[in-house]
């Protein structure tokens, strides 16, 4: 097996991280490392340099001001799952974080890393899109509807760093997923919310192009916020994934069932 070398850098600030990356031949940012480390082990990624963002103080911490919630990009899933401040205004986010992976993943993985990676079966993208959050970076603010572009693809530039995720807690919100029993990734997950901006429904783990909003469920729940309304929506399977776990048709049924459970939990 051919060996390769990677230089490790611990960034002390957002500015420092940018300089370290710009000075690298083929550098990558790393936060919790729950995706990138696995890719390195399998030789799917061979960066010349790794720039560690975990120790940047300005990217840590949770702030709740009234109903506005700001979560630093370096905050772990476990920290969100145990946050009494978030639970008081939006328990759905706390519940979602508690379902991610296993204890190791929850204590290492970060919200910023999850959102930036945009895995099509990850939980956080559905929350960000389903709640209409704003992704804050070192250079701008990006609305959730503009952030997720496709499979593992976002609006982020190569050298752009997510510093926080911010949202206004909705009146109601809920999340439910059908988890792969081994990885705990969502074979289908649905996040629902009802707030000042209306009803939003985001689906993860099912779309062939990644996380997406479902117009039919949004319309039905806008007219009648109830589990029965969600259960009665017809789900088109033509743009859903089929894989070794289940068919697109099965995922269509899961979307309806998970939406019903998410509303029940709200």
CATH number at residue 36: 3.30.43.10
The count of domains in the chain is 2
User: Tell me: the pLDDT tens digits for 108-163?
Assistant: 999 999 999 999 999 999 999 999 999 999 999 999 999 999 989 999 998 899 99
The reply to whether 68 and 179 lie within a common domain is yes
Q: Rounded to the nearest 10 degrees, what angle do helices 248-265 and 215-223 cross at?
A: 30
Q: How far apart are CA 129 and CA 62, in angstroms?
A: 19
**Which pLDDT score, from 0 to 100, does residue 1 have?**
45
Q: What is the mean pLDDT of residues 8-12?
A: 92
Q: DSSP assignment of 188-239, as one string?
A: EEEEEEEETTEEEEEEESSBTTSSEE-HHHHHHHHH--SHHHHHT-----TT
Which of 17, 32, 51 is the endpoint of a domain? 51
Do 45 and 138 belong to one domain?
no
Model pLDDT for residues 183-195, shown as the tens digit of each residue: 888 999 999 999 9
- Distance in angstroms (rounded) separating the CA atoms of residues 248 and 99: 23
Sign of CA dihedral 151, 156, 160, 161: negative
Residue 174 lies in a domain: yes
* Domain around 13: 7-51
Q: Are residues 43 and 113 in the same domain?
A: no
Is residue 123 located within the same domain as residue 235?
yes
153 within domain boundaries: yes
* Claim to verify: residue 30 and residue 116 sit in the same structural domain: no
Do residues 118 and 37 both lie within one domain? Answer: no
222 is a domain residue = yes
- Of the chain, the percentage scoring pLDDT greater than 70 comes to 98
pLDDT higher than 90, residue 223: yes
Q: Is residue 1 part of a domain?
A: no
Residues 231 and 202 in one domain: yes
* Residue 31 and residue 143 in one domain: no
User: For residue 139, is it within any domain?
Assistant: yes
170 shares its domain with 249 = yes
Is 203 inside a domain boundary?
yes
């Amino acid at each position: 097996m051919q060996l390769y070398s990677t230089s490790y850098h611990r960034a002390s600030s957002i500015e420092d991280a940018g300089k370290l990356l710009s000075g690298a031949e083929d550098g990558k940012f790393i936060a919790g490392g729950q995706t990138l480390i696995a890719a390195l082990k399998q030789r799917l990624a061979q960066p010349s340099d790794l720039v560690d963002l975990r120790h940047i103080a300005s990217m840590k911490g949770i702030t709740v001001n009234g109903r506005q919630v700001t979560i630093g990009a370096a905050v772990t899933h476990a920290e969100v799952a145990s946050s009494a401040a978030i639970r008081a205004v939006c328990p759905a986010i706390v519940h979602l974080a508690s379902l991610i992976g296993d204890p190791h993943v929850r204590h290492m993985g970060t919200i910023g890393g999850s959102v930036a990676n945009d895995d099509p079966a990850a939980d956080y993208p559905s929350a960000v899109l389903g709640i209409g959050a704003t992704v804050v970076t070192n250079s701008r603010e990006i609305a959730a509807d503009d952030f997720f572009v496709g499979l593992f693809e976002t609006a982020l530039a190569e050298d752009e760093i997510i510093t926080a995720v911010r949202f206004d807690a909705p009146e109601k919100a809920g999340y439910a997923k059908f988890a792969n029993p081994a990885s705990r990734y969502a074979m289908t997950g649905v996040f629902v919310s009802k707030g000042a901006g209306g009803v939003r429904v985001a689906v993860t783990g099912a779309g062939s192009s990644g996380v997406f909003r479902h117009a039919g469920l949004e319309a039905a729940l806008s007219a009648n916020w109830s589990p029965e309304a969600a259960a009665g929506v017809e789900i088109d399977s033509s743009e859903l994934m089929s894989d070794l776990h289940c068919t697109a048709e099965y995922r269509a049924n899961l979307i309806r069932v998970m939406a019903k459970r998410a509303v029940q939990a709200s």
